[in-house]
Amino acid sequence: MSQLVVSKNPLIPLDEAVCLIKAGSVVAIPTETVYGLAADISQQSAVKQIFSLKGRPENHPLIIHISAITQLETYAIHIPDYVYLLANHFWPGPLTFVLYKSERVGDWVTGGQDTVGIRMPNHPTALALIERVGSPLAAPSANQFGKISPTHPEHVMAEFGDKVSILDGGMCDVGIESTIIDATCHDACTILRPGMVSKEAIQAVLRNNIAINAPGTQSRKVSGTLKSHYSPNKPAFLFEDINDFATIQDEHETTFGIYISPEYQSRFSQGVQLPNNPLEYAKIIYESLRLADQATTRAILIECPPKTKEWTAILDRLERSCAENHSQIDLIY
């Protein structure tokens, strides 16, 4: 892939990141999913900086990041037993639990809700930072609200220039945001946002002891679930076959293609072919969308991946990326 255009280098070492966050500043940090804008959750003014930098509504709750399973009981209450079962299996990793919050979590983190999303990231740099700061970190994606999430330090630089210091952890291994489950009920849980920890993987750990529900109309407000999200600046469209492709292509002078099938390579003036493997696809889809935004084309056409369980999380992100120009996909939970 070609290189993104970025501003001057604002990268900092771990020691400086620790000092900045303790002093009430916001630092962009790596996780295995995407880069996040991190602040100490106990410092209200620091957390408010996150909302200001992102242009994020303050009633949109933040996920907090911890460095040990034992910290769950400090920041959440009424924790079901199955949460520990899942945490011991998937943590550190891309799985977030929505739980009733303890008094240690301020309303400025939860958007006024009585619940909080908690996860333990699977990234050594992030874990070391949290441990040394001595407090959980709020760390939503390091981008403008509703736009494409960053998976590399250069993406953060492209978003904020030198306004935000960045702790460099390289390319993110997973590439899309965590699975979020509502774990406030003791005999069932609900998938609020799909991720690369699938329903099937969760069910394999819980066996048949706990029901796993798809999100309903009354689901709690959580990160990354607005109809339009993860959006490029250019119009983006999903196409499912050659006829669908031709109809959309005819409406735009030039298009950037993001596709799996090699047959589409010759049909775009610019584009990128992605792997026919959901794990590998997820790692580079946001980078591909950023490259498409920088291209000299007028629109982005994305070949719809297979509508199978393995692709549920990716289909969710693509549907939201193209929400302004595409009808809803029936996701498989």
Q: Is 269 annotated as a binding residue?
A: no
Q: Is 65 annotated as a binding residue?
A: yes
Question: From residue 148, how far is each of 100, 155, 224, 251, 275 by CA, in Å?
Answer: 29, 9, 11, 24, 20
Q: Is 230 annotated as a binding residue?
A: yes
Bin 146: left if φ > 0, else alpha if -120 < ψ < 50, else beta: left
Q: Per-residue DSSP letters for 86-154? A: HHHHH-SSSEEEEEEE-TTS-HHHHTT-SEEEEE--S-HHHHHHHHHHTS-EE--BSSSTTBPPP-SHH
Q: Is 115 annotated as a binding residue?
A: yes
Tokens of 92: 């550190």
Tokens of 251: 């409406």
Q: Is 313 annotated as a binding residue?
A: no
List, in order, residues 6 or more apart from 35 with CB less than 8 Å away: 28, 29, 141, 142, 149, 150, 151, 152, 153, 155, 156, 166, 169, 172
Q: How far apart are CA 276 and CA 157, in angstroms?
A: 29
Parallel, antiparallel or unpaired: strands 137-138 and 36-40: antiparallel
Q: Is 141 annotated as a binding residue?
A: yes
Give the count of beta carbons closer than 10 Å to the beta carbon of residue 108: 19
- In this structure, are residues 274 and 302 in contact, taking their beta carbons and an 8 Å threshold? no
Question: From residue 115, how far is each of 44, 67, 185, 200, 217 by CA, in Å?
Answer: 17, 19, 12, 25, 18
Nearest to 190 by CA among 210, 209, 208, 214: 214
Q: Is 252 annotated as a binding residue?
A: no
Q: Is 31 annotated as a binding residue?
A: no
Q: Is 56 annotated as a binding residue?
A: yes
Positive/negative CA dihedral, 79, 81, 87, 88:
positive
Angle between helix 153-160 and helix 278-294 axes, rounded to 10 deg: 30
Q: Is 178 annotated as a binding residue?
A: yes
Q: Is 35 annotated as a binding residue?
A: no
- Residues flagged as binding site for ATP: 56, 115, 141, 149, 193, 230
- Residues flagged as binding site for L-threonine: 33, 65, 119, 139, 178
- Residues flagged as binding site: 33, 56, 65, 115, 119, 139, 141, 149, 178, 193, 230
